[in-house]
Amino acid sequence: MAKKFYIETFGCQMNALDSEKIAGNLCCNAMEPAESPFEADVVLLNTCSVRDRAVQKVYARLGEFRRYKKMRGDVVVGVLGCMAQLEGEKILKRAPYVDIIAGPQKSHAIYALVERSRPSGGARIDLRSDDESGPPIEDGPTRRENPWRAGVTVSEGCSRSCTYCVVPKTRGKERIRSSRNILREIEKLAAEGYVEIMLLGQTVNSYLDREGGNVDFAELLWRAAQVEGIERIRFTSPHPSDFTRDLLDVMVSCPRVCNHIHLPVQSGSTKILRAMRRGYTREDYLEIVQKIVNAPRDISISTDIIVGFPGESERDFEDTLTLMETVRYDSAFSFKYSPRPNTEALDIDGAVPDEEKSRRLTVLQQRQREIQSRINQTYMGRILEVFVDGRARSRVSLTGRTGNNKIVNFDGPETLIGSFARVRITGFGPNSLKGSWLHEQGLE
């Protein structure tokens, strides 16, 4: 009987794509996915270490698998991804029953590790970095979860050095894929019936394929938008310092490129941005936003924000709030600063107490909810084109997304799942819109 595996994924979209590559690697070797971890012979946790909470979540989960391993001694438990890279053998101190530890650049080598692992026979550890000398990131088998939407690797790693961030340590320096390879994969995905692709890289717009004729990110995006069959193209995350006029021009002129940009700001205070080493000021960032707002296409903007970075005064925090009000983000992911091992920010004075971080986060999230409600209210009565993903959480209605990333819930037949629908907006909340499905054709 084929051996079964189960992968639990933590962290960002790159990690979700890595899990699909790991599943591809295992399926190619005659393994099969299990319905639940407790039916699997091999349980893999693909982990994140961007904040301490992400790491603690993995340890808590490992605790649960310890009991499973006691019941079934032959189960292989693996810890993969960013936390594995960062914590290394330390994981074995807290969870000695772990059989495999491998970093995030090992998606296509997992089967080899599984095969060599012997439960209770000592952990197999592969934390070598492919950083500079390793092979370019090529296509491997990928077992995708969603039949319509696919992530596509543009680059791996990150060559920036934000003082709070572990990603350059876990994923190494930036390595890019050739534009030829990327476009070939997109063509293949289109032929397989995918309608939406998400171009992925930690600073996706720093892309430059010198060997392929100096194809930069704007050019790559434009070429991707020419692939027949792909209706929507998204990308994440662009870095403000690499934002170019050309990129904006492509977003404006290619309808298939979604009219949404996730542009992480992190802070609205130039002093804090400098301490974070983000490479731009508040004014630089607002200038980019102004260009986006002035462009002849309605482009929604979302962001990431960190509160309570060391040295963040009440005034710096106010600067973040006023920036949020100025930009009027369509959505924002906000986090309390989490001190990370071996990062430069550990040496910065002025730690903000945890209660104060929590207070700032609550204030910020409340403001952001108000902004989102105000924005979403303006959608009342409009007719939007929605790609239908499936059943909403309520299970009563369908749910989908617009090009500018608004979630729209509405009643309709299940046959709409996996296709576009026109929906008139009849209600709103801070996080989603409600609407009714229009049978007839035609946008307003």
Binding residues for ligand SAH, rule: CB under 6 A, are 50-51, 158, 164-165, 167, 202-203, 237, 239, 264, 266, 304, 306, 335, 337-338, 340
Residue 338 interacting with ligand SF4 (CB under 6 A)? no
Q: Is 52 helix (H, G, I), strand (E, B) or coil?
A: helix
Q: Which of 204, 250, 177 shows the shortest CA–CA distance to 21? A: 177
Find the binder of ligand F3S among 49, 163, 372, 402 (CB under 6 A): 49
Residue 15 interacting with ligand F3S (CB under 6 A)? yes
* Contact partner at residue 338 from ligand SF4, ligand F3S, ligand SAH, none, CB < 5 to 8 Å by partner kind: ligand SAH
Rounded CA separation 10/347 (Å): 28
Q: Which is nearer to ligand F3S, 343 or 409 (CB)?
A: 343
CB of 14 to ligand F3S, least distance (A): 5
Q: Which is nearer to ligand SF4, 162 or 386 (CB)?
A: 162
Residue 203 interacting with ligand SF4 (CB under 6 A)? yes
CB of 81 to ligand F3S, least distance (A): 6
Q: Which two tokens stand for residue 354?
A: 């945890």
Find the binder of ligand F3S among 48, 77, 150, 324 (CB under 6 A): 48
Rounded CA separation 117/160 (Å): 36
H or E element in which residue 90 lies: helix 90-94
CB of 322 to ligand SF4, least distance (A): 22
* 37 DSSP 8-state letter: G
Q: Which of 51, 72, 327, 7 shows the shortest CA–CA distance to 164? A: 51
* Contact partner at residue 168 from ligand SAH, ligand F3S, ligand SF4, none, CB < 5 to 8 Å by partner kind: ligand SF4
∠ Cα 383 388 392 (to 5°):
105
Whether 213 and 171 have beta carbons less than 8 Å apart is answered as no
Q: Which of 126, 143, 7 shows the shortest CA–CA distance to 65? A: 7
Residue 406 interacting with ligand SF4 (CB under 6 A)? no
Per-residue binding letters, 162-201, with ligand F3S (x by CB under 6 A): ----xx--xx------------------------------
Q: Which is nearer to ligand SF4, 158 or 301 (CB)?
A: 158
Per rule CB under 6 A, count of chain residues that contact ligand SF4: 9
Per rule CB under 6 A, count of chain residues that contact ligand F3S: 13
Rounded CA separation 57/433 (Å): 31
Rounded CA separation 189/147 (Å): 10
Cα 431 to Cα 163, 266, 320, 360, distances in angstroms: 31, 21, 21, 20
Find the binder of ligand F3S among 22, 40, 79, 82 (CB under 6 A): 82
Rounded CA separation 174/343 (Å): 18
For tokens 């310890």, the residue is 66
Cα 31 to Cα 3, 108, 118, 119, 322, distances in angstroms: 5, 14, 17, 17, 53
CB of 42 to ligand F3S, least distance (A): 20
Of residues 183-202, which lie at the interface with ligand SF4 (CB under 6 A)?
A: 202
CB of 334 to ligand SF4, least distance (A): 14
Q: Which is nearer to ligand SF4, 160 or 260 (CB)?
A: 160
Rounded CA separation 217/82 (Å): 25
Q: Is 95 helix (H, G, I), strand (E, B) or coil?
A: coil
Residue 165 interacting with ligand SF4 (CB under 6 A)? yes
Q: Which is nearer to ligand F3S, 156 or 316 (CB)?
A: 156
By Cβ distance, which residue is nearest to ligand F3S? 11
Residue 162 interacting with ligand SF4 (CB under 6 A)? yes
Q: Which is nearer to ligand SF4, 171 or 232 (CB)?
A: 171
Q: Which two tokens stand for residue 92?
A: 């074995």
Cα 163 to Cα 14, 113, 131, 278, 347, distances in angstroms: 21, 33, 20, 8, 10
What's the distance, CA 93 to chain centroid? 30
* Contact partner at residue 82 from ligand F3S, ligand SF4, ligand SAH, none, CB < 5 to 8 Å by partner kind: ligand F3S
Residue 158 interacting with ligand SF4 (CB under 6 A)? yes
Kindly list the residues in this chain that would bind ligand F3S in the complex (CB under 6 A).
11-12, 14-15, 48-50, 81-82, 166-167, 170-171
